[in-house]
Amino acid sequence: MPIYKAPVEDTLFVLYDVLKMDGYGNLPGFADAPRDLVEAVLGEGARICEEVIQPLNVVGDTVGCKRNDDGSVTTPPGFKEAYKQYREGGWMALSFDPAYGGQGLPLTLNAAIGEYLSSSNLAWGMYPGLTQGAMAALYVHANDEIKQTYLPKMATGEWTGTMNLTEPHCGTDLGLLRSKAVPNGDGSYSITGQKIFISAGEHDMSDNIVHLVLARIEGAPAGTKGISLFVVPKFLPKADGTAGERNPLSCGKIEEKMGIHGNSTCVMNYDGAKGWLVGEANKGLNAMFVMMNEARMSVGIQGLSQSEAAYQNAVAYAKDRLQGRSLSGPKAPDKPADPIIVHPDVRRTLMTIRAINEAGRALMLWTALQADISHRSEDAAEKQKAEDHMGLMTPIVKGVLTDLGFDNAVKAQQMYGGHGYINEWGMGQFVRDARITMIYEGANGIQALDLVGRKLGANGGRAIMTFFNEVGTFCAQNKDDAALGPMIGALSKGLKDLQAATMWFMQNAMAKPDNAGAGSTPYMHLFGLVAMGYMWARMARTAQEKLAEGADERMTAKLATARFFFEQLMPESGAHLARVTAGADSMMALPAEAF
Amino acid sequence: MPIYKAPVEDTLFVLYDVLKMDGYGNLPGFADAPRDLVEAVLGEGARICEEVIQPLNVVGDTVGCKRNDDGSVTTPPGFKEAYKQYREGGWMALSFDPAYGGQGLPLTLNAAIGEYLSSSNLAWGMYPGLTQGAMAALYVHANDEIKQTYLPKMATGEWTGTMNLTEPHCGTDLGLLRSKAVPNGDGSYSITGQKIFISAGEHDMSDNIVHLVLARIEGAPAGTKGISLFVVPKFLPKADGTAGERNPLSCGKIEEKMGIHGNSTCVMNYDGAKGWLVGEANKGLNAMFVMMNEARMSVGIQGLSQSEAAYQNAVAYAKDRLQGRSLSGPKAPDKPADPIIVHPDVRRTLMTIRAINEAGRALMLWTALQADISHRSEDAAEKQKAEDHMGLMTPIVKGVLTDLGFDNAVKAQQMYGGHGYINEWGMGQFVRDARITMIYEGANGIQALDLVGRKLGANGGRAIMTFFNEVGTFCAQNKDDAALGPMIGALSKGLKDLQAATMWFMQNAMAKPDNAGAGSTPYMHLFGLVAMGYMWARMARTAQEKLAEGADERMTAKLATARFFFEQLMPESGAHLARVTAGADSMMALPAEAF
């Protein structure tokens, strides 16, 4: 059985030592969350994840969700009971507006616990995760009546939420969507159409399921400008607020898929189901984007989560499995062989995963903190800067942490040799579950295009210039430090490569847009590398400061891991730059028929 | 249902246009295989793979193998019937010695068809694949009586073979193995022990199963120097050569695993089973290495095969799936959207896979041709050079083509978005099946160690110096060619990086062996990149020569793909070199407890 222990100490290191979260007492919710409360919440979140939710991970994979003949869906054994504990613990609305039953704590805290939750059980975590995304969209775009009807029930977790975008013929290109909405004359609409890949679309864990559905109002323009967002509940709310009459919508099928078997991925059929408009007509994509940005951050965290869970297991195995002798002489001469953690190539793998996880965690929490600032600050300049940061970093957190998270799960599985390939040790599940994170909420190629095509140039490049300045200033301030110097040198080189790649796009993508598309994926990874490098540089400086106060093995390990990152992972930046600046020609030279 | 078409034209291009296989008429078997015969054999091999074996790939995955209560194993529906056709077609012993019923055709031809077979159905192909490996070991090491007893039956495919190395506590480190052999006094031994991960260990496709088993003769030295190889048949051969009495060995369990469900991965229990020594006592590892080298080449080919099969499907999907519009304006204005193959990031993916597959195929066939020369040439110098090449390239073909084959299967799956994650399209199977190739026959970390620790320094570095000279000479001869020049420049840079990394090991690994282990994996990939780059340079030159004779779309595509390889993939060489030369320190700094 796989193990998992939530990295609470590391979360606290990032939040308080690196990001100085205790300096944000001016933000609503932060003053109510002093460090001791945060520690208690993280500790309790860790406990429920480790003790209640993680033990259901394997059974979720092996038993999966079952659609019954009446269209209802039975979740794996234990899922429902764990959900009851989770929602009764108030976890669903930890950071949500108290006006609707939330606890108003920082989003950053919710993100930290989101990592533990997904590490424990990715498929399970999607049920509350999608609900939180739906709540965010309703909160920003729905009218008061809808908010009052749905949000308090969702905040307690009695009702869960979903997002319904994809149709068989349209995924990325939502302009093609065909689901129809016909006004009923009473302010409601009748929704008809088929949606696919609807995570948590039908299940037995909550009293009601609140579907957010993209559809086209009869007579609306074609393309993306004719799409509206509707709230379409499984049961129509009664006047007393409880779930009433069944709405004509149903799960037609559960998809058989590679992983996340514990989550019901449904084909949803809407057969004239009653729904209400969320936000303005024909502006559904804007409303959905709120949900999608939340969701993209969450998916990035999921990528990190699988990498972390797989890492912890690989470490335990590498310390335990005896095979071969160290190249530098036996390390466990009393045993028939040394534990494989003595082998440098095993170390390379473990250090790689570790270096990415710790930097990924810092990057994710840094970005979550910007979400708090952007939502809660009353300082316009601070707010704008935080929004810029989030816009820029969302595709990176999503695209880079999931690509690397999957790679790392594969690497961790590799540590087990043949034992990693059989189900017994559970390593294959991390790989199969992590795989979806590269795909959903916008496949990673789309994240890269969003970054290059939309985020880089937004507001005259304001966001990226701010990032360049911040990293450049940090490098300038620390380059002469004896210990940090070599790391700063590597980071500066990476930054220079990133700036050169950015400049290349400015000069070559306008006249020939294919150049932007061609370089987008290596650019996103180059950006991710520099962003993680910046996190490592900041963590290394912090570690050094703490070491100056006294010996601390954890801080020594931070410095060693930082060094590994800069020596072994950062050199990739030059290759990425070369890929970007080679341009589109070699990719586009062949006619489609030549493939 | 996934599609597959064997790339016969590309095989022929490599064999005849690049490798000039028609110049080897001096080798036994080659004169009997003029080009028209080779074309016919490849064509017929392609047909049986495409029409008979590939249609069983999905059912093999979904139904899998079943162990019955009596310990017998039922293979998936259709497997047995397909095997009958295959063996009756004479495919099992295509390249085997006619003295034992083989056809004596070039091994190169067998390797080419091995790719088609594994692309069609990796799990199915393992049954004959392991048999061929077992035949090779018996052929080289067994005495005449054993050869006469087993090889003709295996050559017809009536009997299949397996290799039994792994035990629960020992995989890589065979010195730990515990299976025992006790002499019976009549020249036979009683074998007792448990073996795990035995592919094709028990099944219903053949009349007998010939197990090659590593065990320790009672009183033999500990470690690898006390291991012997035994042939242990499921049924003891009778005097008339047919299968007789059942030997006390059995399949205790079939492993549940991530993929290759169509192959029975067995726990094999030997309970005093009768076996005969193959080769000398206590020299079992030498004998097994013959089998493992064959097997490693085959596994490398399997990696390529999954990449090719996944690629063909991704291409078909990318031409068919309509989503979004080209960045440079609509390409299919009559349709609701353009096929996704217009998008540069999709092209990047497809070109990456294609560039690796074509180079991988060339590298694999080049190495297979060296196997023919090493086995069949009577020119000692030529033979030695070929053996050197094989020793050097085996870990690269195995390690690099499987790592990249898996990555490519993942990339191909990504083209499908959410549709790649559900079982319906079959893309997940390529990923799950490809995953094993990175693990078995020596996990890829072991391949890298074999390369760096054993192959580089062998005979004073003779093999690698020969390779450096060959590539260097090619670069010198072609660098001034107007069209090839930029490619040669990139290849020369890669070669320089590889030479620098090699030199670094010479200077830094002797005093500190961990430096070799630490850099082994990036070194192996750097080597693979240069070897594939050399293949591309040769293919580009050949394509150019053919184009000089007249227009040829396939040759134009070769040049475009070569350019893509050098622009987009070759730049990785610098990053690999940086990883190697950073040394072991950052990997080994942390004490094991810090993980």
In Å, how far is B417's CA from the nearest CA of chain A? 6
By CA distance, what is B313's nearest residue in A? A595
What gap in Å lies between CA A154 and CA A133, rounded to an integer? Answer: 11
Q: Using the predicted structure, report yes or no on whether residue A290 has a pLDDT greater than 80.
A: no
What's the pLDDT score for residue B29?
92
What gap in Å lies between CA B13 and CA B20, rounded to an integer? Answer: 9
What gap in Å lies between CA B356 and CA B351, rounded to an integer? Answer: 8
What's the pLDDT score for residue B207?
97
Interchain CB contacts (distance < 8 Å): A and B: 265
What gap in Å lies between CA B120 and CA B142, rounded to an integer? Answer: 33
Smallest Cβ–Cβ distance between B173 and the set A175, A324, A435 belongs to A324
Q: Using the predicted structure, report yes or no on whether residue B15 has a pLDDT greater than 90.
A: yes
Residues 6+ apart with CB under 8 A from A125: A53, A114, A117, A118, A302
What gap in Å lies between CA A249 and CA A333, rounded to an integer? Answer: 66
CB A79 within 8 A of CB A55: no
Q: Do B422 and A257 touch (CB under 8 A)?
A: yes
Residues 6+ apart with CB under 8 A from A266: A73, A198, A199, A201, A202, A251, A252, A253, A254, A255
Q: Do A173 and B423 touch (CB under 8 A)?
A: no
pLDDT band for position B421 (50/70/90)? Answer: very high
> What percentage of residues in chain B have a pLDDT greater than 70?
100
Beta-carbon neighbour count of residue A20 at 10 Å?
Answer: 11
Q: Which two tokens stand for residue A263?
A: 């989550």
Q: Which residue has the tokens 């087993």?
A: B150
In Å, how far is A372's CA from the nearest CA of chain B? 31
What's the pLDDT score for residue B292?
81
What's the pLDDT score for residue A581?
98
What gap in Å lies between CA B265 and CA B439, rounded to an integer? Answer: 14
Q: Which two tokens stand for residue A5?
A: 């222990």
Domain boundaries, chain A: 444-587
Report DSSP letters for B263-313, one per residue.
S-EEEEEEEEEEEEEESSTTBHHHHHHHHHHHHHHHHHHHHHHHHHHHHHH
- What number is the ipTM of this complex? 0.97
Give the relative orientation of helices B458-478 and B380-414 as an angle to the nearest 10 degrees: 70
Where in the sequence numbering do the catalytic residues of A fall? 441
What's the pLDDT score for residue B162?
97
What's the pLDDT score for residue A293?
81
Q: Using the predicted structure, report yes or no on whether residue B198 has a pLDDT greater than 80.
A: yes
Average predicted confidence (pLDDT) for chain B: 97
Helix (H, G, I), strand (E, B) or coil at A479: coil
pLDDT digits (tens, 9 = 90+) for A91-112: 999 999 999 999 999 999 999 9
pLDDT digits (tens, 9 = 90+) for B175-188: 999 999 999 999 99
pLDDT digits (tens, 9 = 90+) for B491-523: 999 999 999 999 999 999 988 999 999 999 999
Q: Using the predicted structure, report yes or no on whether residue A291 has a pLDDT greater than 80.
A: no
What's the pLDDT score for residue B555?
97
- Residue B193, by phi and psi: left (phi above 0), alpha (psi -120 to 50) or beta? left
In Å, how far is B137's CA from the nearest CA of chain A? 23
What's the pLDDT score for residue B291?
76
Q: Do A414 and B445 touch (CB under 8 A)?
A: yes
What gap in Å lies between CA B291 and CA B251, rounded to an integer? Answer: 22
What gap in Å lies between CA B134 and CA B201, rounded to an integer? Answer: 13
Chain A residues touching B556 at Cβ < 8 A: 594
In Å, how far is A475's CA from the nearest CA of chain B? 22
Question: What average pLDDT score do residues B3-16 get?
Answer: 98
Consecutive H or E run containing B493: helix B485-508
Chain A residues touching B564 at Cβ < 8 A: 586-587, 589
> What percentage of residues in chain A have a pLDDT greater than 70?
100
Q: Which two tokens stand for residue B202?
A: 């028990």
What gap in Å lies between CA B290 and CA B149, rounded to an integer? Answer: 20
Q: Using the predicted structure, report yes or no on whether residue A537 has a pLDDT greater than 90.
A: yes
Q: Using the predicted structure, report yes or no on whether residue A113 has a pLDDT greater than 80.
A: yes
Chain A residues touching B167 at Cβ < 8 A: none
Q: Do A571 and B587 touch (CB under 8 A)?
A: no
Least confident of A87-91, A167-171, B235-239: A167-171
Question: What average pLDDT score do residues A175-187 get?
Answer: 96
pLDDT band for position A287 (50/70/90)? Answer: confident
Chain B residues touching A553 at Cβ < 8 A: 594
Smallest Cβ–Cβ distance between B256 and the set A176, A422, A595 belongs to A422
Q: Using the predicted structure, report yes or no on whether residue B269 has a pLDDT greater than 90.
A: yes
What gap in Å lies between CA A549 and CA A542, rounded to an integer? Answer: 11
Q: In the beta sheet, which residues pair with residue A214?
A: A229
Question: What average pLDDT score do residues A13-35 get?
Answer: 95
Chain B residues touching A258 at Cβ < 8 A: 421-423, 428, 431-432
Least confident of A111-115, A324-328, B292-296, B546-550: B292-296
DSSP code of A53?
I
What gap in Å lies between CA B550 and CA B555, rounded to an integer? Answer: 10
What's the pLDDT score for residue A494?
98
What gap in Å lies between CA A129 and CA A298, rounded to an integer? Answer: 8
Smallest Cβ–Cβ distance between A423 and the set B257, B513, B592 belongs to B257
Report DSSP letters for B173-209, one per residue.
-GGG---EEEE-SSSEEEEEEEEEEEETSS-SSSSEE
Q: Do B595 and A341 touch (CB under 8 A)?
A: yes
pLDDT digits (tens, 9 = 90+) for B376-405: 999 999 999 999 999 999 999 999 999 999
What's the pLDDT score for residue B290?
74
What's the pLDDT score for residue A245?
98
Q: Using the predicted structure, report yes or no on whether residue A588 has a pLDDT greater than 80.
A: yes
pLDDT digits (tens, 9 = 90+) for A347-366: 999 999 999 999 999 999 99
Chain B residues touching A261 at Cβ < 8 A: none
Nearest to A454 by CA among A471, A469, A442: A442
DSSP code of B581?
H
